Structure 1
C-alpha cells in the first residue's frame, strides 16, 4: 500500500525531539527521511538513558523510526559537499541548529534555494529570529509561562511530565511543511518555514493565554482545578483518584443524580457553571464526601452510563491498556532483522483511510545508510 507522501525526500538535520518528531510523522506517511548525524556519537538522544531497550536509548527509539542514518562531518569540506548534494535532491530540509549555524556551513536557505528552487526549508529554533539562546524544553516551559500555571499552587511552579513544548513545536513544523508543499504543488516554488518553541507554546496555551491578551487576567497555578469550568478536577474515591470533567449543566445534573444528591442541581450556588466555578471549593468538599463511598471503577461505570465525563488516573501502562481495549491499536511492533529483535513503539495517531501510516523500518543504527548520500 502506498503512503500519502511517497516519493518525498527529506534531509533531516534535526536533533533531539522537535525536529525528529516532525520528520518521523512524515516518514510514517511515506516520506523518505535521511537523518544526518554527527560521526561517532550521532543524535544526542542516542546516549540519553536509562531506560534502554536491547542496549539502545528508548528516547532515541521513540522518534526515529522509518529513517535512514548518514553520519556526516559538517565541519569538513567533504562533509559539507555531501550535505549540499543531499539537500539539492531533497524536497524538504529540516534543521534545528542555533540561528546562523547552517548559513556558516554553506547550507542556509538562501544558498540552497539557488540550487533547488522548489525546496521547502524548515528551521526550528528556541526563540525565533536570530536569537541564539538554546531552546531546551524545560527552559521554554519556564520562560513561556507553562510552569506558572502548572503545579499545586503559584509558589510551586511545575514542569509537565514530558517535553510537551518540543512535541507541540514538532507538530507545528510538520503542519508548516505540508502547507508549504501544497503551495509548491500549485506554483513550483519552495519557501522557508520557521517555527520556534516559544511561539508554539504561547499558541498552545490557548484559553490561558487568551485570558491575558483579551481580558488582562494573568492565570495562576490552581493544581488540578480549572479557572473556567467546575467540577473539572481530581477527586478522592474509596480507593484511588477519579477525574470529573463536567462541561455543562446537563452533565452536572446527571452527576449529582448518580451521586444521590439531585438537589444540588437546583442549588443556586451550583445551578450554573459560573456559580459552580465561584463556589468550587464548597462543591469539591461535597463531591469528595460522596465519591468516597465507592471505588473509582464503580463510579466510572455508573457515571459513564449517565454520559458524565470521568475516568480514573491511569499510569502509562494502564493508559496503553485502555487504548488497546478501545481498539485503537496503540502499540506497533517493527521487526529488526539486523538486531534480531522486535522494536515496540507507540503508533502514529493519524488515521488515513486510503494511505495509512506504515512502519517500514526500525530506528536506524548510526551511519547505517552512508551510501544514501554518496
Structure 2
C-alpha cells in the first residue's frame, strides 16, 4: 500500500464533459485539479470533491486580459486592457490604480466528484453527471475548495464562492454524499475555509472559520503572537445561522513557520483524545509562500478549549518530486500542500490534499504520530 502519492491530476479530467462546454466558445485547459474535499460514502468508498480550475488557452487577446464569468445565459468572456493589469501571479490578475484592491481570476473553478476505493488507492468512477458548477450571480467566477463533513445520517459541504458581489461561503447538503442540494450562503465576504465538526457537541453545530481582511491590529510585543489571519470558532443551532464565539481560536505564533497566514484544512473528526483538525500555515518567501499542514486537538465536550496546537513541526509538507512528471505545468515556485479532507483508515488517517495547486494527493499518516 502506498503512503504518499498523487491520485488525480489535470490529465485525468475529460474537458469534453466540462460543464463549461455547453456555452463557452473558447479553448480551455485544466490549470489544476486539486484541493479535494473528502468523505466516506455509505458503501465504504471514499469520495473526493475535486476543484477543477479551467483556464483559457488564450488568456490575452486583442490587447485585453480575459476572464471567464458565469451568467444566466451561459458563460461569457470579460476583457480588461493589459495596461491596467498586473499579471505577476499566474492564478490571478490585479487591476492597477483602483481605490479598492480589485482582482480577477485566470481560471474558473467547478467541482468534480471522484469516487475511490475504500483505501484511497484507486479511482473507481468520475461522476461528471454530478459535477457542481456556478448557478448564481454570487458565484459567477467559480466554486472553490470544498470541505465535506459527515454529521449524523447526512453529509454537509462548505464551498468558497467567488464573484464581484462577494467572496463568501455556501453550504450544500446531501443524503448520500453524491447528490447535493444548495442551502445558500452561510458566511459573507472573505470568511473562508469553513470546517464543520463531524458531530454536534452539546446538541449544536460547531465550525472553524477564517475571516480575512486588509488590515489587522498588533498584539503586545511580549504576547508571543504574530497577528494576522487566524482560525476562529462559530456555533449554530441548525448549520445555517452561525454565531461567532468569543473564545480565541488558533492564532499565528511569533516564530512559527506558518505565521504568515493560518487557515482551516480538514473538518474536525472525533478521536478518543478529542477533536482532531488539520490546518495550514504559510511561511513567507517573497512568492505565494510555503504552505504546510499542521494539526490541532480540541476538547470533545467543549471544542473551544484547545488541547494542542502542533505548529512546531509540520505534519505534511509539499513534495515537488510528486509533480516532476508535470514540471512543465507547474506555475508555483514554492512548495505548497493544502490539506482538505480526512478519513479513518484504521491505524492511520487518510489525508487528501492539493499538491502545488496542481493535483490531488493522498497521504497516510500513522495515528501514533499525533500523540
TM-score, length basis structure 2: 0.31
Select the structure of larger CA radius of gyration: 1
- Per chain length, whose mean CA-contact separation is higher, i.e. which structure has more relative contact order (CA < 8 Å, sep 6+)? 1
Higher share of residues assigned helix: 1
